[in-house]
């Protein structure tokens, strides 16, 4: 019996955040995997990414007050911990360098998006 796992356990297919809902926290995966997807207007799902241990998601909610841009659900069992906007911003106020890794991950995603966009535009 493991007693030391932090966060909350989500079962296979359980939704962690839903596209269009308001959010005030981000999530860090402690164990397992989650899939990120967007629903288009016709109820079709487009998978954007599969994320693993130590990855973040929902980080945009820390910086803007827009609704969630995608839905995230557990693939098999996943353990996920939340990081609250308020406590994150309070710490960043004292120590701006705390945002470094979030910015690093966001810049990594922008690179991926650039590559994807190029692929789409050039048809390769």
- Binding positions for other proteins, rule: CB under 8 A: 1-8, 28, 54, 81-84, 87-88, 90-91, 94-95, 97-98, 101-102
Nearest to 66 by CA among 21, 113, 17: 21
CB atoms within 10 A of CB 30: 16
Residue 19 has what DSSP assignment?
Answer: T
Question: How far, in Å, CA of 67 to CA of 9, rounded?
Answer: 24
Q: How far is the CB of 84 from other proteins (least distance, A)?
A: 7
Nearer residue to other proteins within complex by CB, 38 or 91: 91
Nearest to 80 by CA among 1, 3, 11: 11
Nearer residue to other proteins within complex by CB, 7 or 18: 7
Q: How far is the CB of 83 from other proteins (least distance, A)?
A: 5
Q: How far is the CB of 116 from other proteins (least distance, A)?
A: 25
Nearer residue to other proteins within complex by CB, 67 or 81: 81
């Amino acid at each position: 019996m493991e007693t030391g796992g932090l966060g909350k356990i989500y079962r296979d297919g359980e939704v962690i955040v839903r596209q269009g809902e308001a959010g005030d926290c981000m999530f860090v995966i402690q164990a397992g995997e989650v899939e990120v997807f967007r629903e288009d207007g016709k109820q079709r799902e487009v998978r954007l990414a599969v994320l693993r241990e130590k990855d973040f998601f929902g980080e945009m909610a820390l910086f803007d007050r827009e609704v969630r841009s995608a839905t995230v659900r557990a693939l098999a069992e996943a353990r996920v911990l939340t990081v609250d906007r308020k406590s994150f911003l309070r710490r960043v106020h004292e120590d701006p360098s705390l945002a470094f890794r979030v910015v690093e991950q966001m810049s990594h995603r922008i690179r991926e998006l650039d590559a994807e966009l190029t692929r789409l535009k050039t048809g390769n």
